[in-house]
């Protein structure tokens, strides 16, 4: 099952205001025109204007940063990273660029790099809630769940009276409690948020995950349907409903939901995992292996992926690969590998 973490996007555009003439005035004019184009989401014009500013001043960090954000906004994270690197190389303590680079590293699944940049920002400006929030998300992906809780709690202290951010932090905090299998605590935290805002779909998605883990499929289905009602086009939720159908061996409806999720978001590694489980249940083991291997390649954080991939390897006669996958599953405490499977590897 997949948790959709609430992420505050870092779309930090740098603005430089100063009285200047000649070359400097032209540079500032290009930066301003680029910012206007970015606000209007006219990416082609924004790229042109920032490029002109850089042509006049090759180490203009603000323009490199803003150009990176143009590519980030189009989900071209590799290109965004290149531009943020240029911004930071021109100004090593440029907080906006460091935050943007960290957020881009997160999207590229370069979590240690994201952690490094976020710690640099904290050293430079230790009182910004968004930095700790992003650090909490990063620690979650690194499976450093207790560090993640600490980071979210630090962010909450700094967020002050910002109700929206406090609610987002509370949901993410509860999600980590779910990962730690503290289900009662996670439920209590989510229900407290729901009293303040009962229209946040991720509350119901996470409650559905908890009920699923506890084998309460009827309750899980009620919660996930509420999440889908509030966010009908969110592929994560549809995929999670497909997983509940899988667990109940309702393969027709499971396949329909999983296929819809993949169609709406081809980068959803969890949906490929669920498609792999579907093929395991259909005893189409070559297809199961293909889907599960693709899921793992896309995102190693996917829950229980090593266990299911190990099964696919086993049924395809790839004993060494199966045993390696089961071993990895045990290390990650996926709690799925049985004594019989371990025995078969000896």
> Are the CB atoms for 247 and 217 separated by under 8 Å?
yes
Domain membership of residue 122 (yes or no) is no
Is 206 in the same domain as 191? no
Tell me the pLDDT tens digit for each residue of 119-139. 999 999 999 999 999 999 999
Q: 13 Cβ partners below 8 Å, 6+ apart?
A: 35, 38, 65, 66, 69
Domain membership of residue 338 (yes or no) is yes
Tell me the pLDDT tens digit for each residue of 305-345. 999 999 999 999 999 999 999 999 999 988 899 988 888 88
Look at residue 6 and give its three-state secondary structure. coil
What separation in angstroms does the CA of 5 have from each of 18, 197, 199?
Answer: 39, 17, 16
For residue 164, give the CATH number of its domain: 1.25.40
Which pLDDT score, from 0 to 100, does residue 6 have? 46
Domain membership of residue 118 (yes or no) is no
Is 2 in the same domain as 84? yes
Q: 60 Cβ partners below 8 Å, 6+ apart?
A: 27, 31, 53, 54, 90
Domain membership of residue 13 (yes or no) is yes
Domain membership of residue 295 (yes or no) is no
Is 19 in the same domain as 90? yes
Percent of the chain with pLDDT over 90: 86
- The count of domains in the chain is 4
From 178, 197, 216, the end of a domain falls on 197
Is 81 in the same domain as 7? yes
237/226 Cα distance (integer angstroms): 10
From 179, 197, 215, the end of a domain falls on 197
pTM comes to 0.89
The CA angle 127-117-64, to the nearest 5 degrees, is 105
For residue 202, give the CATH number of its domain: 1.25.40.10
Q: 69 lies in which domain range?
A: 1-107
From 147, 173, 197, the end of a domain falls on 197
Is 10 in the same domain as 63? yes
Is 307 in the same domain as 264? no
């Amino acid at each position: 099952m997949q948790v959709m973490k609430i992420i505050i996007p870092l779309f930090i555009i740098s603005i430089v205001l100063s009285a200047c003439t000649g070359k400097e005035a032209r540079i500032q004019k290009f930066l301003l025109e680029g910012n206007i184009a970015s606000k209007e989401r006219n990416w082609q014009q924004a790229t042109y204007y920032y490029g002109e500013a850089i042509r006049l001043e090759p180490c203009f960090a603000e323009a490199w940063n803003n150009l990176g954000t143009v590519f980030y906004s189009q989900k071209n994270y590799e290109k965004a990273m290149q531009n943020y690197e240029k911004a930071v190389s021109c100004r090593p303590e440029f907080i906006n660029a460091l935050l943007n680079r960290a957020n881009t590293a997160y999207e590229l699944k370069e979590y240690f790099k994201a952690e490094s940049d976020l710690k640099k920002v904290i050293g430079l400006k230790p009182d910004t809630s968004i930095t700790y929030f992003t650090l909490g998300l990063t620690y979650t992906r690194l499976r450093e769940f207790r560090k993640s809780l600490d980071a979210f709690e630090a962010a909450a202290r700094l967020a002050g009276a910002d109700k929206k951010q406090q609610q987002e932090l509370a949901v993410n905090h509860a999600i980590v409690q779910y990962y730690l299998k503290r289900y009662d605590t996670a439920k209590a935290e989510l229900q407290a948020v729901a009293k303040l805002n009962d229209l946040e779909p991720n509350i119901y998605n996470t409650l559905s995950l908890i009920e699923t883990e506890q084998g309460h499929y009827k309750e899980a289905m009620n919660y996930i349907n509420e999440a889908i009602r509030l966010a009908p086009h969110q592929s994560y939720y549809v995929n999670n409903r497909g997983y509940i159908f899988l667990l109940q061996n309702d393969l027709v409806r499971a396949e329909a939901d999983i296929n819809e999720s993949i169609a709406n978001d081809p980068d959803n590694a969890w949906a490929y995992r669920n498609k792999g489980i579907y093929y395991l249940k259909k005893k189409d083991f070559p297809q199961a292996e293909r889907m599960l291997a693709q899921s793992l390649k896309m995102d190693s954080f996917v829950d229980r992926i090593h266990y299911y991939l190990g099964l696919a390897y086993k049924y395809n006669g790839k004993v060494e690969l199966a045993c390696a996958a089961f071993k990895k599953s045990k290390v990650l405490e996926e709690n799925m590998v049985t004594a019989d499977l371990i025995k078969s590897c000896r």
